[in-house]
Chains A and B, each alone.
Chain A
Amino acid sequence: MSEISDESSNYPNLKYYVHNRFSGQDPSIIDFYDKAFLSFYLAYDENDDDQIIDTSSPPTLIPSVVDADTGLGWSLSSENNWSLDTIDENSVANNYSIFVTAEFDNCSTYAAPVVFNIAAEENINSGCSNIFGGISSGPAYGWGGANPTIPAANKYDGNCNDLKYGGNYIREVYIGHVKSHNVQMDRLVSFTGNGGGSEVQFCRASSREQITVDSLNNINLSNWDTRTLMYWKRKEIRKKRLRLAAIKWDENWSCEGYEEQLFVIYEEDNEGTLTIGDSVSFENGDSTYSLDVNVTIDNKSKDQVIIKRTRTNQEFFVVNLLDQGCGGGHGAGSFGDRIWGWQDCGTPFQYNMWHRWIDVTDNTTYF
């Protein structure tokens, strides 16, 4: 423990977390999350025998500091002593283990791969470039907080003035749950190394930041803004598993103006070229500018794209809580009190998306 706390620059507030998590003063890691610049990731919620992993005992805490197949994790013994153990894929898959990652970007403090919370006490740095200006107001809302005020399920009527509450806000969008449809994306065996489970990539192309302008003044985009891998074992696919993805797809999708984003799911291979092309457009809220961006992104895949959709901010937040032809499912954590519409049913991976918007002046979250 001391080794971790001594490296506070690498593991800010981890000691605080551990203390509160296990001393009984604050049994929930939920409240902690927004007090520290950490995020937590539960890699497996079921073990190899398909049993829900027991979370009643303290988890093994694994600081995420390097990319490796094995690492070190801190475990609390029955004698209340911390020990440092070597962990690997197998131990993580069969024991309650939480990866802890330092979030150095204050602007993304609210991102939590598994634990979504709201009841924050300290103010976020409002100097973040991706936070819009405004005036703070609105009721505090926290999962498990005192007298929570639950706002109406859908505040997104398309009118940004209704949405803003006059606050400085960010608007986050997540890939929530994903369900497999018993379609393996790779062969069992591949002599080129592509066999086995499926490496499913969830991508977003929007980009006011990454565009380039060519000699003909065409505006082009050739990189994803976000791309997150979700690995599916063959077993999980065959059993039509419903899994928690909790992938932050967009950390701040603005409300003002018109903004299209390209939503893409594809399966990655180590060879082949899958060129995904489309166009997305933007229009500033006060019509000071508009852009048409040509999207051409090369990816390594031998397959066709699984899902490619153009979403706009003016339709997404209006329909995201509605049945979009596939029914709906509850979210997890603080998203759990709402039904989020399943999307693209009948495809190999159907999913729902969760969104929330956070008044960063007083750390109030709205859905």
Chain B
Amino acid sequence: MKKCNTFISFLVLFFLNFAYSQEVTKKQISTFPSSLFELNVSYGIQGNFFVDYGESVVKAADGDIIPFRDAFGFNLYQKEFIGDYKAIRFSTRLGGRNFLELGYEVGTNRGEFSIITQTDSGTRVVVNDFELDEVNRYFSLTYKRGLGKTNRWFLLGAVSYLHLESSTIEISPSANFISVEESNPTNSYLEELAGQLGVQYYFYNSGRFSLGLETRAYFIISYGPELETWSFAPILKYNF
């Protein structure tokens, strides 16, 4: 929750800053173009609220995550809260300020581990600066509505089919058991239904291109609802 509050505070400050900038340059601002079709891409960051696996993330001095331990042994599950975020979307205007958007969004969180241990049978296990990924792929259908007539602010809501990929290592020294595996939709049916709520703000326009910022909260709705990730990214839009 602390991570969430920090993230929200940061976003609020950021958008207030742009709102202020908008006020200052209000007289110079004209309505941004809007056409029947739009293509937009974004690349930024996201915070993933799942990847700590319900345990505190403890790091070594070099930044590597220290595996948490349970009755089974060492669990190399956890990833960094902040990860990267990429999206590409195609929009069509339904009429007025209403848009329908098809999107593909990917969030990736990584965790780097180093551990040296030995099983009871004497086998030494060395994991050295090894990076494990947690990848969320969203196939989204979004409804987006412009706020006002300037085509700068948009509110959006979406439903997404979510593919999950998770790479993990389990080391149980007492059991002489080591598991290195990736779980994904193909081998483990890791798929969920997700929802989104978000805001877009465009602050720069040149010809058919517009540049802006967006933030989206992703929820798992097939169980929950449970907050999964929160993204924050610059967005570049091209109007056809």
| B188 → chain A closest CB, angstroms | 4
A19 at the interface (CB under 8 A from B): no
Chain B, 157-176, contact with A by CB distance < 8 Å: what is the 0/1 string? 00000001010100010111
Residues in A with CB closer than 8 Å to B193 are 188-189
Surface stretch bound by A, among B18-26, B58-66, B124-132, B219-227: B219-227
Q: Which of A281-331 contact B (CB under 8 A)?
A: 323, 325-330
B190 at the interface (CB under 8 A from A): yes
B73 at the interface (CB under 8 A from A): yes
| A363 → chain B closest CB, angstroms | 31
B150 at the interface (CB under 8 A from A): no
Residues in B with CB closer than 8 Å to A196 are 222
| A48 → chain B closest CB, angstroms | 8
| Cβ A325 vs Cβ B71 within 8 A | no
B77 at the interface (CB under 8 A from A): yes
Cα A328 to Cα B176 in complex, Å, equals: 12
Give the residue among A182, A186, A239 with the most B Cβ atoms within 10 A: A182
- Chain B residue at smallest Cβ distance from A350: B72
| B204 → chain A closest CB, angstroms | 40
The answer to whether residues A185 and B189 also contact, given A238-B164, A239-B53, A329-B71 and a CB cut-off of 8 A, is yes
Which A residues lie at the B interface, using CB under 8 A? 50, 179, 182-189, 196, 233-235, 238-240, 242, 323, 325-330, 342, 345-346
Residues in A with CB closer than 8 Å to B105 are none
Cα A189 to Cα B194 in complex, Å, equals: 13
| Cβ B175 vs Cβ A323 within 8 A | yes
| Cβ B172 vs Cβ A345 within 8 A | yes
Interface residues on B, range: 20 to 34
| Cβ B188 vs Cβ A345 within 8 A | no
Knowing that A239-B54, A327-B174 are A-B contacts, what are 4 other residue pairs whose CB atoms are under 8 Å apart, sorted by A's residue number?
Answer: A183-B183, A196-B222, A323-B174, A327-B72
Residues in A with CB closer than 8 Å to B38 are none
B31 at the interface (CB under 8 A from A): no
Residues in B with CB closer than 8 Å to A329 are 71-72
Pick from A184, A240, A327, A330: contact of B172, CB below 8 A: A327
B191 at the interface (CB under 8 A from A): yes
The answer to whether residues A234 and B223 also contact, given A185-B189, A187-B191, A342-B72 and a CB cut-off of 8 A, is yes
- Chain A residue at smallest Cβ distance from B179: A346
Residues in B with CB closer than 8 Å to A342 are 72, 175
| A210 → chain B closest CB, angstroms | 34
Cα A33 to Cα B168 in complex, Å, equals: 42
Give the 4 A-B residue pairs with the shortest CB-CB distance, closest first: A327-B175, A184-B189, A235-B223, A183-B188
B177 at the interface (CB under 8 A from A): yes
| A308 → chain B closest CB, angstroms | 20
Q: Which of B30-80 contact A (CB under 8 A)?
A: 53-54, 70-73, 77
Residues in B with CB closer than 8 Å to A233 are 223
Residues in A with CB closer than 8 Å to B222 are 188, 196, 234
Residues in B with CB closer than 8 Å to A50 are 54
Q: List 26 A-B contacts (CB under 8 A).
A: A50-B54, A182-B168, A182-B183, A182-B188, A182-B190, A186-B189, A188-B191, A188-B192, A188-B193, A196-B222, A234-B222, A235-B220, A235-B226, A240-B53, A242-B71, A323-B174, A325-B175, A325-B177, A326-B72, A326-B177, A327-B177, A328-B175, A330-B71, A345-B72, A345-B179, A346-B177
Cα A323 to Cα B174 in complex, Å, equals: 8
Residues in A with CB closer than 8 Å to B73 are 327
| Cβ A234 vs Cβ B166 within 8 A | no
- Chain B residue at smallest Cβ distance from A185: B189
Cα A345 to Cα B220 in complex, Å, equals: 28
Residues in B with CB closer than 8 Å to A328 are 71, 174-175
| A342 → chain B closest CB, angstroms | 7
| Cβ A326 vs Cβ B53 within 8 A | no
- Chain B residue at smallest Cβ distance from A179: B72
| Cβ A187 vs Cβ B53 within 8 A | no
Chain B, 200-238, contact with A by CB distance < 8 Å: what is the 0/1 string? 000000000000000000001011101000000000000
Residues in A with CB closer than 8 Å to B190 are 182, 184, 238
| B216 → chain A closest CB, angstroms | 21
Pick from A179, A184, A189, A325: contact of B176, CB below 8 A: A325
| Cβ B177 vs Cβ A345 within 8 A | yes
| Cβ A240 vs Cβ B77 within 8 A | yes
Residues in B with CB closer than 8 Å to A239 are 53-54
Residues in A with CB closer than 8 Å to B174 are 323, 327-328
Residues in A with CB closer than 8 Å to B220 are 235
| Cβ A187 vs Cβ B189 within 8 A | yes
Residues in B with CB closer than 8 Å to A238 are 164, 190, 192
Cα A346 to Cα B224 in complex, Å, equals: 27
- Chain B residue at smallest Cβ distance from A187: B189
- Chain A residue at smallest Cβ distance from B188: A183
Cα A323 to Cα B119 in complex, Å, equals: 13
| B178 → chain A closest CB, angstroms | 10
Pick from B77, B175, B223: contact of A326, CB below 8 A: B175
Residues in A with CB closer than 8 Å to B164 are 238
| A111 → chain B closest CB, angstroms | 25
Residues in A with CB closer than 8 Å to B183 are 182-183
The answer to whether residues A182 and B175 also contact, given A188-B189, A188-B193, A239-B54 and a CB cut-off of 8 A, is no
Residues in A with CB closer than 8 Å to B187 are 183
- Chain B residue at smallest Cβ distance from A323: B175
| Cβ A345 vs Cβ B175 within 8 A | yes
